């Protein structure tokens, strides 16, 4: 259950304390659940938490510490509501497949699942999941003054909404930021890049493969959530518009310039293997001191600060995305949200909503983050109020210089709901784009040819 402990070391300078926690394992978490079992903060909500007591729901999540922490608190939810929650952990690549099969077949296996924000267009178009506004508006189910929807990061709410309706409640999310080696930058008198151009020249200045230090690295491996996770930010920063004149467009001058920048930095200043790297590989390389900078999820800070493997602790600093030619910085608006499966009977839907409300509440967010008793705390909480909590900030500042500022700045100013094309056909489009980007990165196709080919493939999907 807690096999992912080492990720979010909270930089207790004492590795020993962490190691002691790690060996205690599940016993420790059970204790954590019990010792915090104070339900008063929840009971102040003006709703009957026990209204569907006795129900059982199954929730699919991915194996990740931020969900492990939630699972550890499940006994508290049971005590509060009388609802049993069965968690099923499914790897990220399969959770989409399994939940789509479940939703199409209307079998109602998963009451809710950790959902990819890019899938809501598909879910909503098929009415597979419920619009959450009815639940939010129902006074018997939600106390708005207690739940404070507005406190939940607005960018993530819009990422999980279609036509102004919320379909998935953000639980944990991330922004993409620059991560760099302050010691190397200082030695050359460099500053974190303010523009993509400067990012390229910084990378050039630090690229010394003979000393096993490469200038930069970005996710290169093909996949809707891999290269097609980084490229959309670059595309938007170059002024690209996915829905040009109402038509999904992936080629054209902005796209070519954006992909050229991506290919350029990967070919010239990244380790050759980075073309096949996903972000854990980048973080692994950075933690071994072989990469001077990367742009990726802020949550990777926990890996590069893991005392068990990182050699760069204390040398790391952060900054927001460099600006593109359009003058914009564009972060990912990735978050794992919880939708409600429409195929469920009414009582189970209510139980699911109570679970979602509990998981997304400020109290549970804090209890799974800085107030969590185990060694790994979350760094992707869904609420502005928690992000402003001094205890939380203190914890996050342990990751390195400017971490909280860069992350908060990105969350508040660099988010962009049209970061990726939000259409029901996304799964196929994401894969097509991933293949196109890969063929350009590997040099199999010219940049223009790769993008034009992707456009040709995507057009029939949009007609269908």
Partner 1 sequence: MTAKRLRIIALLAISTVFLLAWAFPIVWSVMNSLKTDSDVLAYPPKLVFTPTWEAYRDVLFGSGSILPNLLSSVIISVGTTVVTMLMAVPAAYALARLRFRGKKFAGFYVLATQMLPPVGIIIPYFLVLRNIGWIDTYQGIILIYLSFSLPFAIWLLVSYFEDIPFEMEEAAYLDGASRLKTLWRIIIPQVRGGIAVTVVFVFLNAWNEFLFAVVLSGNTVRPVTVAMFNFVSVEQTLWAKLAAVSVLAMLPVVVLGVVAQKHIVKGLTVGAVKGGGRR
The residues of the shown chain that bind partner 1, judged by CB under 8 A, are: 1-4, 6-7, 25-26, 62-65, 86-89, 91-92, 94, 97-98, 101, 105, 107, 109, 212, 280-281, 283-284, 287-288, 290, 299, 302-303, 308-309
Q: How many residues does the chain have?
A: 464
Complex with partner 1: residue 100 or 205, whichever CB lies closer: 100
Exposure pattern of 378-389 as b/e (b: 16+ CB <10 Å)?
A: bbbbbbbebbeb
Of residues 372, 400, 402, 401, the one with CA closest to residue 386: 372
Complex with partner 1: residue 314 or 443, whichever CB lies closer: 314
Q: What is the DSSP letter of 321?
A: P
Complex with partner 1: residue 144 or 345, whichever CB lies closer: 345
Are 367 and 345 in contact by the 8 Å Cβ rule? The answer is no
Complex with partner 1: residue 4 or 146, whichever CB lies closer: 4
Tokens of 12: 């207790």
Are 127 and 342 in contact by the 8 Å Cβ rule? The answer is yes
Complex with partner 1: residue 147 or 318, whichever CB lies closer: 318
Task: Show the DSSP H helices in 251-336 as ranges.
Answer: 253-269, 279-287, 301-304
CA–chain centroid gap for 52, Å, is: 32
**CB of 160 vs partner 1, minimal distance in Å:** 18
Complex with partner 1: residue 97 or 444, whichever CB lies closer: 97
Q: For residues 448 and 187, what is the distance between their CA atoms, to the nearest angstrom?
A: 38
Strand, coil or helix: what is 88?
Answer: strand
Please give the helix or strand (H or E) that residue 117 lies within, else none.
Answer: none
**CB of 193 vs partner 1, minimal distance in Å:** 26
**CB of 16 vs partner 1, minimal distance in Å:** 16
**CB of 132 vs partner 1, minimal distance in Å:** 24
Specify whether the backbone of 163 is left (phi greater than 0), alpha (psi in -120 to 50) or beta.
left
Residues β-bridged to residue 353: none
User: Which string of DSSP letters, residue by residue, matches 137-189?
Assistant: H-TTT--HHHH-GGGB-HHHHHHTEETTEE-SEEEEE--EEEEEEHHHHHHTT
**CB of 232 vs partner 1, minimal distance in Å:** 18
**CB of 280 vs partner 1, minimal distance in Å:** 5
Are 184 and 292 in contact by the 8 Å Cβ rule? The answer is yes
**CB of 460 vs partner 1, minimal distance in Å:** 21
**CB of 197 vs partner 1, minimal distance in Å:** 31
Complex with partner 1: residue 7 or 455, whichever CB lies closer: 7
Complex with partner 1: residue 235 or 286, whichever CB lies closer: 286
Tokens of 240: 């690209």
H helices, E strands: number in the chain:
23, 12
Complex with partner 1: residue 97 or 126, whichever CB lies closer: 97
**CB of 88 vs partner 1, minimal distance in Å:** 5
**CB of 105 vs partner 1, minimal distance in Å:** 6
Are 192 and 249 in contact by the 8 Å Cβ rule? The answer is no
Complex with partner 1: residue 288 or 446, whichever CB lies closer: 288
Based on C-alpha coordinates, what's the Rg of the chain?
22
Complex with partner 1: residue 102 or 452, whichever CB lies closer: 102
Q: What is the DSSP letter of 320?
A: P
**CB of 44 vs partner 1, minimal distance in Å:** 33
Are 379 and 298 in contact by the 8 Å Cβ rule? The answer is yes
Q: For residues 72 and 31, what is the distance between their CA atoms, to the nearest angstrom?
A: 9
């Amino acid at each position: 259950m807690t096999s992912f402990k080492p990720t979010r070391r909270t930089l207790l300078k004492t590795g020993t304390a962490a190691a002691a926690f790690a060996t205690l394992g599940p016993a420790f978490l059970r204790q954590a659940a019990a010792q915090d079992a104070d339900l008063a903060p929840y009971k102040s909500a003006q709703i009957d938490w026990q209204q569907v007591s006795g129900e059982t729901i199954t929730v699919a999540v991915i194996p990740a510490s931020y969900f492990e922490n939630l699972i550890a608190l499940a006994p508290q939810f049971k005590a509060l509501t009388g609802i049993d929650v069965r968690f099923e952990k499914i790897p990220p690549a399969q959770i989409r497949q399994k939940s789509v099969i479940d939703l199409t077949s209307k079998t109602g296996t998963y009451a809710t699942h950790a959902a990819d924000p890019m899938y809501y267009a598909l879910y909503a178009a098929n009415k597979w999941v419920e619009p959450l506004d009815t639940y939010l508006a129902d006074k018997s189910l939600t106390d708005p003054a207690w739940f404070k929807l507005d406190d939940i990061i607005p960018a993530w709410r819009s990422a999980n909404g279609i036509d102004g309706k919320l379909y998935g409640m953000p639980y944990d999310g991330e922004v993409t930021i620059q991560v760099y080696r302050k010691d190397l930058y200082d030695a050359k008198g460099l500053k974190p890049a303010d523009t993509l151009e400067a990012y390229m020249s910084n990378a050039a200045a630090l690229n010394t493969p003979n000393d096993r230090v490469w200038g930069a690295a970005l996710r290169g491996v093909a996949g809707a959530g891999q290269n097609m996770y980084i490229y959309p930010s670059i595309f938007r920063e170059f002024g690209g518009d996915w829905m040009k004149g109402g038509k999904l467009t992936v080629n054209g001058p902005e796209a070519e310039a954006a992909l050229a920048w991506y290919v350029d930095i990967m070919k010239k200043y990244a380790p050759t293997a980075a073309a096949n790297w996903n972000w854990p590989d980048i973080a692994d390389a950075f933690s071994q001191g072989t990469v001077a900078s990367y742009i990726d999820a802020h949550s990777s800070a926990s890996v590069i600060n893991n005392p068990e493997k990182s050699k760069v602790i204390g040398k790391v600093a952060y900054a927001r995305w460099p600006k593109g030619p359009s003058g914009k910085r564009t972060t990912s608006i990735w978050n794992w949200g919880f939708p409600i499966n429409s195929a469920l009977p009414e009582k189970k839907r209510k139980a699911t909503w109570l679970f979602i409300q509990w998981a997304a509440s400020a109290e549970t967010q804090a209890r799974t983050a800085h107030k969590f008793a185990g060694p790994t705390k979350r760094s992707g909480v869904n609420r502005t109020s928690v992000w402003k909590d001094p205890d939380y900030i203190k914890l996050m500042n342990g990751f390195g210089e400017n971490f909280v500022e860069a992350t908060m700045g990105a969350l508040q100013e660099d988010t962009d709901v049209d970061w990726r094309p939000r259409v029901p056909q996304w799964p196929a489009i994401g894969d097509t784009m991933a293949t196109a980007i890969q063929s350009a990165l590997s040099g199999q196709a010219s940049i223009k040819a790769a993008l034009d080919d992707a456009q040709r493939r995507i057009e029939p999907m949009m007609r269908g």
